[in-house]
Amino acid sequence: MLNSVSDPVRRRLSAEDRRRQLVGIGLAQIIDTPIQDLSMDQVAAEAGISRGLLFHYFPTKTDFYLACIAAAGRRILRNTAPPEGADGAAQVRAILTAMIEQIDRRRAFYLTLVHGSGVADPRLAEVHESVRSVSTDRVVAALDLDPGLHEVVHAWWAYVEDRALTWSASPREDRGLALEALVAHCERALDALCAEGA
């Protein structure tokens, strides 16, 4: 008997495509749901597979969470990539603005990334460190800074994250600073730190 329109045909995916599909579903859900509250049953159902099969691709819940977090880290880096053709200061301003906007939009996720809320695994720190290290390399390259200032810029990103997390905790109407003012403040902090560290 032929499938009716109401009976979706389940597509057979390669292992890599299935993993990518499952991580995509997880990524879509952590926009609104804390990572530790993700329902594995719901993810499996949306993918059209059994919970048991999901655990074939990701042996534990933590493995699945970490795959989603790593994918989100890569997405952050894509979304904060510097614009081509812009001068160094404009690149840094664009990276900084995009990072603060990412933190503002995905505050709960970023707290998980920075503090490991609900996911106790050292690999989480590796994802966060990767995001911060690439962001540091981008700023150092954009401003053509002395390599000796790499650690200073790395520490500055921690300051930016903390300011952005604090700023994003308040409702928009109660924020003392506009986004542009916060970005300008962070730029001045970078200038001061680099001057001190030179």
pLDDT single digits (tens) 181-193: 999 999 999 999 9
List where CATH 1.10.10.60 sits in the chain: 15-63
Decide if 112 contacts 103 (C-beta within 8 A): no
Report whether pLDDT(6) > 70: no
How is residue 68 written in tokens? 């989603």
The CATH class of 69-197 is: mainly alpha
How is residue 99 written in tokens? 């990072």
172: Cβ contacts below 8 Å, ≥ 6 apart? none
Decide if 41 contacts 50 (C-beta within 8 A): no
pLDDT digits (tens, 9 = 90+) for 44-67: 999 999 999 999 999 988 889 889
Report whether pLDDT(95) > 70: yes
Measured in degrees and rounded to the nearest 5, phi and psi for residue 150 equal -55, -45
Report angle CA 89, 130, 155 to the nearest 5 degrees: 55
Is 15-63 CATH 2.60.40.770? no
Amino acid in the structure at residue 185? H
Among candidate residues 103, 101, 33, the one with its CA nearest the CA of residue 68:
33
